[in-house]
Structures are given as C-alpha cells and as structure tokens.
Amino acid sequence: MKKTLVLLCVMTAGCDAVRSTTDRVFGGGDAPAQTVSDTEAATEVAEEVLRPEPVSARPSWTGAKTTIAGLGDPTTPGRWMQTPLVDSEVTARVVVPKTGAQAYITLVPVSGPESGGSRLSLDAMRALLVPFDELVEVEVYAD
C-alpha cells in the first residue's frame, strides 16, 4: 500500500497540470527563485481569487438571475461569460448552486432572449470547478 501511494505521488508530481499549477502559485519557471512563506503565498492566492476586477457598470437588476451555461470558445483567453442577461460588459459574481463554488467573472453581452443559455470561458469553468463537457446551472449576482 505504501509503495502504491509513493508511486502515485511520484507520477502525479511529473504531471504537466500539477507542474503548471505549482508554477503559477509559487512563481516557478525561468524566473529566479524567491523565498515566500506558505502564509504569504496562500494570502496572495486567496486575494487573487476573491478580489473582483473594477466594475465600470452594474447589471440592470438586483439579486440573482439563473442561467444554464456551457463551454464557449476555448481559444478566447480570460475569465468571461457570454450571456443575454446584460446589455453592456460588467463584472459580476457567479455561483454554482450545486457545489457552492463562486468566482467574479466578466459578463459579455450577446443577442438573444434573456431565457437563452450562456457560454463560459475555459478559465471561468476552471474557477467555478465545473466539468468542461457539461451544461451547468449558475446564478449571476449583481452585487
């Protein structure tokens, strides 16, 4: 059992996804190594996730609106959601009610009825911890 656990850890450590995540969190790569305590690194990561971007405008509603979202264009970078809920580009809090995961995401207007579906960027789906190949119900908060 111990050998299996050690082998699993070694194989996972070599995985590109793990390496790219640790590089982003701890600033690895070609840059010179910097000494950062675990508390400082955790604080920086938490601030990056929880701090919303500056909001230039607010949505026209108060409270929450629900929409069904799927994967949008995976080649377009950024954390966005194309939705007919807004008339201009704004930043709002998006929550997955099933899991409680939430993130601040830029809402990009698209034409269509308000009851129409929405499209999430790859980065937004990662932030909300949802599978890329499924439709997910999300709540969009104007606060």
In which region does residue 27 sit, left (phi positive, over 0), alpha (psi from -120 to 50) or beta (all else)? left
Report which residue type is found at 132: F
pLDDT (mean) for 61-84: 90
pLDDT digits over 7-54, tens only?
566 566 665 555 555 566 555 555 444 555 555 554 454 445 545 544
Kindly list the structural domains of the chain, giving each domain's residue range(s) and its CATH number in brackets, ordered by start.
Answer: 2-28+38-50 (no CATH), 64-141 (2.40.40.10)
Q: Is the pTM here over 0.85, yes or no?
A: no
Q: Is the distance from CB of 32 to CB of 38 less than 8 angstroms?
A: no
Residues ≥6 apart with Cβ < 8 Å to 73: 119, 121
**CA 100, CA 108: separation in Å to the nearest integer?**
23
